[in-house]
Every structure is written in C-alpha cells, then in structure tokens.
Structure 1
C-alpha cells in the first residue's frame, strides 16, 4: 500500500514538472531563429481597416492655446414654439399625429363650439338690421326729391297769388275791382303760404328720418365689423375670407365646424387635449415647434470673464465618440448674459447660429455639446490633431500617420505634442496640414507594434512567467 502511494506522488510530480520542461532541441531551434527587426510601418489594407474599424482625422490649423471650451446644450428660441388654444369652449377633434411635420395652412383640428352658433345668429340679425336701415335710407332720397318739387310748386303759387293780390288792391284803390275778388285772392295766398309751411315741416321730418336711418345703418355696419372681427378670432380666418361670397352667401354663414389651420411650418410637439373632449376657453390644444430655430446655452466660469466679449465668434462641436464625432461644427455669435450666478460662480452665454445656412440634423433642442470660443487676445493657429488620436506606449506618446505615398500603410511616430484644450492637441513636428492620422484603431495598432507590451505566455506552479503556450 505504501509503495502505491509513493509511486502515485512521483507520477503527479513528474507530470507537473514535465509540463514546464522545454525540449532542448526545440529550445535550440527557437534560439537559432533571429527575430525580425521591428518596422515603424504597419500594413492597413482594406480588410485590416474594416476588421479594426480604423478611421482617420486630418491635421488642421487651430488656435488651441486660446480656445475656451465650455459644455452646454441646444434649446429652442422663444419664437420657435407656437401654442394653439381654444378660442371658445367646445369639442375638439384632432387631425394630426405627434411629431408630424406640418406646413402653414395645414389642418390641425376641428372645433364644434356653441359660441360660434350664437355668433352666426348675431351676425344674421345685424346683417338684417343693416339691410333695413339701408333700404330706409335709400327710400328717403326719392321722397326728398319729390318734396323739393312740391316745395317749388308751392313757392311759385305763393309768388303768383302775391302778385295777384297786389294787382287787385291797386285796382280796388282806383275803383275798378270788387272787394270779393280781393278777399278771394288774399284767401288763396294764405292757403298757399300754409301749404308752404306744411311742406317745410315735412322736409324737416324727412331730413330727420334720413339722419336716423344713416345712424342706424352706420351702427349696424360698425356692429357687423366688430362681430366679423370676433368671427375671425374664433375661426382664425381673415375678415375678407369670411365675407367672400360662396354660392350666393358669405362664407361665415356656411361654416359649421371650425377648422384650425397651422399658422407657420413646424412639427407637432405636444398634445394638451384628446379627440372628443370638451375643452374650456383659452385652454391649450396642441403645440408645434420649429426644430431648426435653436440657440446654444452654456455656462462659463466667472474667472474667464476677462476673456469673453459680446460678438466673439464661437463654434458648437458635437460630443466626442459615437456617430456624431465627425459632424461639422456650427458657427455663430456669442452673447453674454447681463447677470451672473453668484452661487455657482458662472455666467450664462448664448450662441445663436449664423443665419442663411441649414443646420445639421443633430443640432436640436436638448442635445448636449461643447462650445469652442476663440477668446480675445488669441495667438496664431498651430497644427493640431484630436487628442484621441494619441496612444500611450509606456511613457511614450504614439500616433500613426497614414503614409501619403501608400494609403495602405500607417507610419508609427513618436508624437511631439504641445498644449491641448481637452479635445485637440498641438503637434509640433512630423506632420503637415491635411495629413491623415489614425483615430479609431490607434490602440490596436500601438499594441501590434509595441516592443514593451508582453504578447502572451503562461504561469508555472512556482509563480514564474514564461512566454508562449508551453
């Protein structure tokens, strides 16, 4: 039994120790093969670039030393948001979907409002009153014309009887006229004068009636104008559109449910009511926004106030990493807030993008990014590369420049770096503007070309480490 245990232990030790033993012949063979000299050039053909996801960034001139970078976010301009509210209490029927794009004049929702029915009745009544006043006023003109003719005839009769009475009185004085003829002439003259007085009274009545009809017509017209303005507010249509004749009637008489149209282009953002609900007057129904009307809001340290001025040129750059990394910057003009925050010791700064150019799709409200400001007193531009192009191999900073003569090779270079702003770093030598520097995949290339990183091996039971798999 004891002999069996001894032989078992010996066998186990032999296996363990034998696993770490190297074949002398194999050792001699490996030692006789010289390791190839390391080169500073790496093959990066299409297959390698695809497998490692290699991308490139170009060397460009930037004012890194005098660039201030502050984080912030995009927000909508105050004029970018529009609310559509209830002009009067009524039932709502929504006709658009959330985030649907609409143009000016597109139908948003329909309203069934009791107030509109009342307004239509008031418009009908006042229109009838205006027509009656107009008819009365129009009838007075011919009456006054006829009365003027009657007045002229009476005046002629008075003139004739006046002359007749004077002639008869002269004859009577000479003894050639009878007294009865004179009395009859005087009676006829009195009657004519009475008719004239009555005619003047009638004219005064017609004049007053004309003034009353004019006042009634003007009042009806004013009332009609006010009601049409109210109808315009309820329907969001112009007065000229409401009064346009459609199949023999003005349009306001034919409107049943009120259709609310978009006043400006935009995107439907929020709903404040649901279809079929009864909504009170002035309550919001939906909100649209114009996503391209944005500005950038950031917070700078108060210690940087000496460098910041209104009107400085600033550029919003997308956050590092992800699909937005290669997005172009958005330039604009800087505006400083009139007051600062004493608790956080910051000051708000706004950047409004330059007009005339469409914004990239990523520039929308709520997106976080960085604002790069070339502060006052900035120096000249220097060659710079993204800081993420730099890899560390021990204590060395390494970059890989794409060979201008062979795009399928990358040249490993010790990076001669200068100042950085957290995103870009000055590179002092070894590159020219426009050169391509490896961005994604730089770490894999550094590992593949490093002489200081252990490539692989295994540990022995005694804690020592050996290269290779055996």
Structure 2
C-alpha cells in the first residue's frame, strides 16, 4: 500500500514539473515518441565539435546574393610623391597609424634651398612695391598739403592787397592835399604874405606823401607778384596731382602683382609640405623666422589621418625624378564591390538596401553584418557578361579589411513578410530527403532529426516551412557526424559515447 502511494506521489510531481516547464510551440510537428531524440551530453558536443545556430526570420525570397570583396575607393587613398630630386628620409613604418599633419618623409634637395631663395626674393619684391605705394601716397599727401598752404597764403595775399589798396587811396589823398597846400603857400609868398617856414614844412610834407605813395605802389607790386606766383604754384601742383595719382595706381598694381606672385609661390611651397599657410608662415617664440625659412629640407606631412599602406623607397635612397614614396588609406573609408550577372540587371537598381558579409558567413554573427544602399557601376564587362554592384560602407567594422572576400545580399524587392530560416550549412541530404537536427527546447542535451520541409534559399539561408519556430536552435557544426550515425535508419532514440560512437537505445 505504501509502495502505490509513493508511486502516485512521484507521478504527480513529474506531472507538475512537466506543466511548469511546458513550452508552447507553434508551427512545429514533433514526433510524439520522446524516444526520437538523440542524447548529446556536453562532453560529446565538445569532442565532435558540435555547435548550434538560431532560427531567424529573414526575407530570403526577396534577396539576391552576389560575390565580391571589400576595397578602398580611390577617394579613400592618399599618395605622396617626391617633387624634387634628392635624398629620401622615411619617418614612418608600414601599417602605422598616422594623424593629420604628421611628418611622413623628408627630401634633402638643393631645389628646396633654391625655392627658399626665390621666396625671399619674391618677399623682398613685395616689400619694395609696398614701400613704393607708400611713397606715392606720401607724394599725393604732400601735394595736397602744399596746395592747402598756398591757398591759405593766397587768401592772406588777397587780404593784403585790399589793405594796400585802401592805404594807397589814403596816401594819394594826403599827397593831393599837400599839393594844394603848397600851391596856396607859394601864392601867398609871391604876394608878399605868409611865412617861409610854413612853405618849407608844407613842401617837406608833400615830399613825404609822395614818398609814401611810391612805397605803397611798390608794396602793391610786390603783393601782386606774390599772388601771381602762388596762383601759378597752385596750378602747377594741381596739374601734377593726376600724374602722381597715376603713379600711385601703377605702384599699387605692381604691389598687387608682386603680392599675388608671392602668395602663389608660398602656397605652392606649403602644398609641397602638405601644410596650410598659417602653419607654414608660423613664427615660433624661440626663432624670429617663419617655418619656411627655418626648414632645411622638404618635409612632407599627411593630408589626412589613416594607415600607411605602402612605402616604396627606403631611407637614403636618391630619387632623380618624381616618384611615389608613401601611400596611405583610411580604413573607415571602404566600400564593397560585388559582381552581378547582366541577366540579373532587371532586379537591380540604385538605392536598394543590401547586407555585406565575409565569405566565412557560416560562423558570422548576423548583428555584425553591414547594411547600406547599392549603386550600379556605369560600365559593364562585355567579356564576362557581368556588372559591378557597389555599396558604400557607412560605418566600417574591425573585420572590414581591403581584399577580404564576401557576399552582398541585395534586397531586390521591399516587403514586410519574413519567413523562418536556418543556415544552409545546417541541412544535409540523406538519400532522397533533406534533414536537419533541431535542439530539444526542453532539454539542451538532446537533438531531433527532422525531415526538412524546405522553401527557397539564397545560398546561405533556406526557408523551413514546418518543424521549427522562433527561438529554436539547429545543429550547425558536427551535422555530418549526426547524419552518418542516423543515415538510412528509422528515427529512433540513441546516444553518443565520449569517443563519438553512436548507439541506439538508452545506456
């Protein structure tokens, strides 16, 4: 009696445990016989190298898979040449990460020293022409100031002329009065009247008035002469002003030409160093000279940050002509180039979304794939009957190296429908049917052989219409060993030993 009570209690506990861990599975047709599962303990999975892949929902029916490779586009590569003949001194190593404006190599060349002399002469010409402009401006200012001074003196001379005129009239009236007075006194003297002293004094005053009148006239002539001279000087200065202004315009033009030549020469020299004008002409605190005067050699700097791809010469090499010295590229600036058959062109167009992945996509995580929009090459290959399909990589990953082969899955038609898929590598053909092994969702140490009800595939993923659901896992690596162990047999329970040997039934 106690035995039956104990048995009923164990069955009740097992029933409760089964209900508690029961998993609801849609679209799955499992074998009702639990003995159809194959036991795969952890030690067996480790020895056989068995791994699992999750079931995913993907748009397999609307993708086109194209082979290709990752490459650096032309705009992502920087090349640096030797512009002058001279001895090369390399400052970087191959595959070294470099920053913008980092020195790459130096060229010890006499041509650079000659260019420095040309720059100095060009700079001196700019200074000379600038001084000539200032001299012309000073001449114009001097003429204008002289004209202002002469105009002021001319105004004073006119005022003196007016005063002289009034004074002349006054002196003339005085002289006329003394003439009349002398005549009266002379008449009185002839008549026997008057005094001789008065006549003598009147005659003296008459002579003084005549003298004053002569002085006034002389002063008037002097003022008139000065006035005429100042007017002539003003006119001469006024006539010379257009000539001096024209000379100033010529000097300004010469200065602008010299300045333009100087800036062109300086910009060319700065470009040889791959430096901007501000850095090229920077004056340090410890030296009064700018960089282009201090530099004893041509030091080529990086235009952009990146990685040194190639170094084509070694330190100490002498290059007699223009040659490529260093090549760099930016790892983040990369694209995928795939090759499509011309027969697939009706399905392809610019702007379609695609995913890029390496050729080792069997073990490659889905979340690490790259997405982007494609654009077709404007040229096709007539001999191979193909056309290139390019995809710009918006954000490069650590595995996107130039030259890595891979695939481009192009979504050739937009749709919201996604289907349950497993990797093609997780399915094998066994005689007349395709099979795969699904992991027991209730017991991770068991797998079940399932005849695949397949749909379409794209070479990597294949649609499974029944037998799986979201969250399931299928065997990926080690599927060959499972197939060989269960090939041609009815689906029965079994187990693996640690050495990989399979036996049907339980231990």
Query: Aligning the two structures, in what range does the TM-score lie when normalised by the shorter sequence?
Result: 0.7 to 0.9
Moved more, 269-278 or 398-407: 269-278
Per the TM alignment, residue 441 of structure 1 is displaced from its structure 2 partner at its CA by: 0.7
Alignment partner, residue 55 of structure 2: 59
SS of equivalent to 1:291: coil
Give distance in 2, aligned partners of 1:240 and 1:326: 48
Q: Is the 8 A contact 2:70 2:403 kept in 1?
A: yes
Which residue pairs with 1:11 in the alignment?
none
- Answering whether residue 67 of structure 2 is matched by residue 71 of structure 1, we say yes
Query: Which residue of 89, 93, 104 corresponds with 1:93?
Result: 89
- What is the 5 A alignment of 1:433-448? 433-448=470-485
**Is 2:219 aligned against 1:223?**
no
Contact kept in structure 1, 2:381 and 2:387, CA below 8 Å: yes
| Structure 2 Cα separation of the partners of residues 99 and 394 of structure 1 | 52
Tell me the residue number matched to 1:376.
413
On the 8 A contact 1:271/1:285 being kept in 2, the answer is: yes
Name the SS of the counterpart of 1:98 in structure 2. coil
Name the residue aligned to 1:464. Answer: none
Structure 1 residues 196 and 285 mapped into 2: Cα distance closer, same or farther (>3 Å)? Answer: farther
Match of 1:159 in 2: 158
* Structure 1 residues 135-150: aligned runs within 5 Å: 136=135, 140=139, 143-144=142-143, 147-148=146-147, 150=149
Question: Which digits, 9 at most, give the CA deviation of each residue in 1:85-137, with x for residues without a partner?
Answer: 34555543221112211122222223442343223322441254156336635
1:4 maps to what in 2? Answer: none
CA deviations over 1:414-455 (Å, ceiling 9, x no partner): 3232332222222222211221111111111222344569xx
Pick aligned residue for 2:311 from 271, 277, 290: 271
Deviates more, 1:96-105 or 1:444-453: 444-453
- Specify the alignment match of 2:278 in structure 1: 240
Paired residue for 2:347? Answer: 307
Please tell me whether the aligned partners of residues 84 and 321 of structure 2 are also in contact (alpha carbons under 8 angstroms): yes
Moved over 6 A (4+): none
Deviations 1:368-425 (A, max 9, x none): 2122123237694321111111233333433222222222222222323233222222
**Which stretch shows the higher mean deviation, 235-244 or 260-269?**
235-244
RCO higher in 1 or 2 (8 Å CA, sep ≥ 6)? Answer: 2
1:326/1:145 CA distance change after superposition, 3 Å:
closer
Q: 1: CA distance between counterparts of 2:125 and 2:363?
A: 65
Q: Distance in 2 between matches of 1:101 and 1:57?
A: 37
- Residues 199 and 241 from structure 1, CA distance in 2 versus in 1: closer, same or farther, beyond 3 angstroms? farther
Distance 2:262 2:242 in 1: 30
How far is 1:45 from its partner?
2.8
Counterpart CA distance in 2 for 1:389 and 1:265 is 43
Select which of 289, 304, 313 maps to 2:329: 289
User: In terms of Rg, which structure is larger?
Assistant: 2
339 and 202 in structure 1: CA distance in 2 versus 1, 3 angstrom threshold: closer
CA gap of 1:444–1:277, structure 2 versus 1, over 3 A, is same
Judging by fraction of residues, say which structure has more helix. Answer: 2
| Shift, 1:218, TM fit | 5.8
When residues 197 and 86 of structure 1 are mapped into structure 2, their CA distance, relative to the original with a 3 A threshold, is farther
Residues 270-291 of structure 1 show CA distances to partners (whole Å, capped at 9, x for unaligned) of 2344434454676433221112
Is 1:81 matched with 2:77? yes
Secondary structure of 1:65's counterpart equals helix
Hey, what's the Cα distance between the residues in 2 that align with 1:132 and 1:280? Answer: 41
Using the size of structure 1 for normalisation, the TM-score is 0.75
Alignment of 1:203-218 (within 5 A): 208-209=243-244, 212=247, 215-216=250-251
Judge conservation of contact 1:398–1:412 (CA < 8 Å) in 2.
Answer: yes
2: CA distance between counterparts of 1:152 and 1:187? 18
1:260 aligned residue: 300
Q: 1:377 to 1:181 in 2, by over 3 A?
A: closer
Q: Secondary structure at the match of 1:316?
A: strand
Within 5 Å, give how 1:12-31 maps onto structure 2. none
Pick from 385, 397, 401: which aligns with 2:438? Answer: 401
Aligned equivalents of 1:280 and 1:172: distance in 2? 99
Stretch moving more, 215-224 or 295-304? 215-224
Are positions 1:416 and 2:453 aligned together?
yes
